[in-house]
Amino acid sequence: MSTEPAGASDDALQAGREAAVTAAVLASFEGAADDRYREVMQSLVTHLHAFARDVRLTQAEWEAAVGFLTRTGHITDDRRQEFILLSDVLGFSMLTIAINAPVSAGATESTVFGPFFVADAPTIPIGGDLSFGAKGVPCHVSGRVLGTDGAPLAGAWLEVWQSDEDGFYDVQYAGDVTAARGRLQADDEGRFAFWSVRPAAYPIPDDGPVGDLLKAAGRGPMRPAHIHFMVSAPGHRTLVTHIFAAGDEYLTNDAVFGVKESLVADFADHPAGTAPDGRVLPGPWADVTFDLVLAQET
């Protein structure tokens, strides 16, 4: 026997059937032992179902979405994280960062983690070279790690990684290559310095499903030139950020929405000669100075 009200319009019957599906799924999570799990999953179901109703999702579109996610999983491995890339190009990574790294007066702003971080990078001394043969113009990077009160954070750890002048990270090359990445510890005054290569603009990997998404949207894959940093110190929130090169043509059109004006720095270009740390450069080189300010843990 039908439970639908007699005399109801087709539209009302349709809406009732759709609402009943959502209600049943929400109820299925009521028994979850973890309150946060229940909250997140019920909210996800609510918004996901609302999305499907809002766009009147077709069966063919649903199948295309499942196929897209399947291809995203297939192309992901320990050297390529297509799901992070997908999160990045949808702005979801930046939104999550904004939620979890709220504004703290004076602290360096956070930006996307990206898909190319590798744990256990080589440790170098202050002033060392973490390019490890990466192609590009030598670049000296220096600054201080500070708290929002201006006090130096002695012994802070910095993880650094970037692309070479061709726009490739070491993990994008065949073989077991380590280049343009490393970790170092700030001194007692919070100072750090290292050599790498001048960063270059590059396209995010667009030969997979995320690239197909960008093409369908008429969007480009380019990221402006930048260097990645992850900085940690006891009693402070870990900072994940970039330094972007001023004047880059893609600063206003970053494929992953990661640029913030406060993170743009001037990379000074120099002819062959002697750098301030005494290194003699036979060709052009560059340098940049940028302080990294960490917010206190709350």
Q: What is the 3-state secondary structure (H, E, C) of the chain?
A: CCCCCCCCCHHHHHHHHHHHHHHHHHHHCCCCCCHHHHHHHHHHHHHHHHHHHHHCCCHHHHHHHHHHHHHHHHHCCCCCCHHHHHHHHCCHHHHHHHHHCCCCCCCCCCCCCCCCCCCCCCECCCCCECCCCCCCCEEEEEEEEEECCCCECCCCEEEEECCCCCCCCHHHCCCCCCCCEEEEECCCCCEEEEEEECCCCEECCCCCHHHHHHHHHCCCCEECCEEEEEEECCCECCEEEEEEECCCCCCCCCCCCCCCHHHEECCEEECCEECCCCCEECCCEEEEECCEEECECC
| pLDDT value, residue 4 | 59
Q: What is the pTM of this model?
A: 0.86
- In words, the CATH class of domain 82-294 is mainly beta
- Identify the pLDDT of residue 7: 60
pLDDT of residue 5: 61
Residue 3, pLDDT score: 58
Query: Mean pLDDT per segment of 10 residues, for the chain of length 298 residues?
Result: 64 93 98 98 98 97 98 91 94 91 86 90 97 97 97 98 95 91 98 98 94 97 97 96 97 96 97 95 97 93
- Domain locations in the chain? 10-57, 82-294
Q: Residue 217 has what pLDDT?
A: 97
